[in-house]
Amino acid sequence: MQPRPSLEPNAGADGAPSPSESLDRVTTVGLILEVAAGLRRTINPIIEAELGVGSGDLEALIRLVRSPGERLRLSDLAAQTALTPSGLTRAVDRLAELRLVRRQGCPDDRRGAFAVMTPRGKQQMERVMRIHRHQLDDLFGNLLEPGEEEMVVNVLRRLRDRVNPDAARLSDSAEGGVSECEDQRGEDDA
Amino acid sequence: MQPRPSLEPNAGADGAPSPSESLDRVTTVGLILEVAAGLRRTINPIIEAELGVGSGDLEALIRLVRSPGERLRLSDLAAQTALTPSGLTRAVDRLAELRLVRRQGCPDDRRGAFAVMTPRGKQQMERVMRIHRHQLDDLFGNLLEPGEEEMVVNVLRRLRDRVNPDAARLSDSAEGGVSECEDQRGEDDA
DNA sequence: TCAAGATCGTTGCGCGTGCAACTAGCCTGC
DNA sequence: GCAGGCTAGTTGCACGCGCAACGATCTTGA
């Protein structure tokens, strides 16, 4: 039996007895997971009621709406969200069902496909994003001092690049060739 | 059609044209969710292989191991993790199945129950936490400058208190009465 | 030209989760 | 003491998700 199990934060048994390190990474990670779950649960009901989709699908829509031409390759979309390819396929299925996005085949690479916002999708998103922003303003309120959010985002971005290198790769070359692609189905139901 | 849909970050159409606010909360939230998902996917396989549980269950175990007496009321445990009561019930079921924790009835409140680390659980956790820490050190590396982690944790904690007020309530009174409770089953299989 | 390997997206499967409904036990006021 | 309301935890149900396997397509090298 060890005199003190190295389970406590400041065990100091794993190498680096940093001076100002009064908190450990385990706690940090736990906090991130906890905040993410809380955010998800907070956001979900409102978006669900307004748009009929969950927060994961909303994330995909946001990335889509912010992309040039309001469209993105499915793999790129997967890399830029918290979704794996398989999860994304289902998400696009749901969004297409709701006529918010549409699949677009790409003749350049007949394996690949784009997800494109429909007019209806753009219109809905404009409405929902206002609500979403308002909700986040309420939630964050004046919780962050000026500059804090920048710093946190800065750190989070670096962290994201670590746990999801694909996203970094993408943001570098996201504005590549916007090649011409044909619609797989011409229905817009505007 | 509006001249410019208010979907872009700096639309400035929703009230507050803050000076230094070059990034918006929508992005921040998206980043948090993305990082959380990435962390989860990064951590999961290792812990799964080592302990046979997912990262959610690991979070519960961590909270448990750090609690006085290595035990916690189920509701408190739920509030302190990214789990709802129903999710926690299943989690404890799994952990009890693996003989890592044990349910303990509380005579003070016969509705309630504690989750208690078993000796085997403590032993396993000591081993796994070393691996976990090592993994996080690899992952974070020297990604954060001194003081940044403190700052981020500080912000995250405030955010957590917003999206999950129960956690805040708990950490204030977590060290309440450690009343005597009886084991529901005496098996330890040490 | 053609075969071998890599990449993109989809699907079968199992699992973990949240929500809502439920039971059991506590607590207040009459 | 008892009725009503509240809280702790559990369960049915449905769903979203990741993983692994798969078919289709592109790419590379012989």
B85 near A CB under 8 A: no
Query: Per 3-state DSSP, what percentage of chain A is helix, strand, and coil (rounded to 5)?
Result: 55, 10, 35
Work out the pLDDT band at A176, boundaries 50, 70, 90.
Answer: very low
In degrees and rounded to multiples of 5, residue B50 shows phi and psi of: -80, -35
Of A29, A40, A143, the CB nearest to B162: A143
Distance, CA of B35 to CA of A32 (rounded, Å): 8
- What sign does the CA torsion over A76, A79, A80, A84 have? positive
DSSP string, B133-149: HHHHHHHHTT-S-TTHH
Residues of chain B with pLDDT > 70, as a percent, come to 76
Do A30 and B122 lie within an 8 Å CB cutoff? Answer: no
Q: Which residues of chain B neighbour A10 with C-beta distances below 8 Å?
A: none
A72 pairs with which residues across the strands? A115
Tokens of B61: 């175990």
Task: Kindly report, residue by residue over A45-79, the tens digit of the pLDDT.
Answer: 999 999 999 988 999 999 999 999 999 999 999 98
Average pLDDT over residues B84-111: 94
Task: Kindly report, residue by residue over A149-173, the tens digit of the pLDDT.
Answer: 889 999 999 998 888 887 776 654 4
Contacts (Cβ under 8 Å, ≥6 apart) of B148: A151, A155
Is A74:A85 a contact under the CB 8 Å cutoff? yes
Q: Which residues of chain B neighbour A28 with C-beta distances below 8 Å?
A: 149, 152-153, 156
Residue in A23, A26, A35 to test binding to B, most B beta-carbons within 10 Å: A35
Q: Which residues of chain A neighbour B162 with C-beta distances below 8 Å?
A: 38, 139-141, 143
Do B14 and A133 lie within an 8 Å CB cutoff? Answer: yes
Q: Chain A to chain B, count of Cβ pairs less than 8 Å apart?
A: 220
First-residue to last-residue Cα distance in chain A:
70
B81 nearest nt, CA–C1': C17
Lowest mean pLDDT among A141-150, B40-49, B111-120, B151-160: A141-150
The H or E element containing residue B97 is helix B85-97
Is B119:B188 a contact under the CB 8 Å cutoff? yes
Q: How far is CA B35 from the centre of its chain?
A: 14
Work out the pLDDT band at B125, boundaries 50, 70, 90.
Answer: very high
Is A36:B33 a contact under the CB 8 Å cutoff? yes
Tokens of B165: 């007020």
Lowest mean pLDDT among A73-77, A141-145, B9-13, B76-80: B9-13
Tokens of B49: 């292989």
Q: Write out residues 28-67 of A within 8 Å (CB-CB) of B.
A: 28-43, 55, 59, 62-63, 65-66
Delimit the domains of chain A by residue range: 37-167
Residue B140: closest CA among A187, A172, A163, A141? A163
Fold of the A37-167 domain: Arc Repressor Mutant, subunit A (1.10.10)
Q: Which residues of chain B neighbour A26 with C-beta distances below 8 Å?
A: 62, 129, 132-133, 136
Neighbouring C-beta atoms of residue B89, cutoff 10 Å: 13
Task: Kindly report, residue by residue over B9-64, the tens digit of the pLDDT.
Answer: 544 344 344 433 446 889 899 999 999 998 998 899 999 999 999 988 999 999 99
The pLDDT assigned to B170 comes to: 60
Work out the pLDDT band at A145, boundaries 50, 70, 90.
Answer: confident
Q: Which residue has the higher pLDDT, B182 or A72?
A: A72
The pLDDT assigned to A187 comes to: 40
- What are the distances in angstroms from CA B37 to CA B44, B55, B164? 10, 11, 19
B68 near A CB under 8 A: no
The pLDDT assigned to A131 comes to: 92
Fold of the B34-168 domain: Arc Repressor Mutant, subunit A (1.10.10)
Of B28, B42, B63, the CB nearest to A152: B28
Q: Give residue A172's region: left, alpha or beta (phi > 0; psi -120 to 50).
A: alpha
The pLDDT assigned to B98 comes to: 94
Kindly determine whether the C-beta of residue B171 is less than 7 Å away from any atom of nucleic acid strand D. no
Q: Residue A73 carries which DSSP code?
A: E
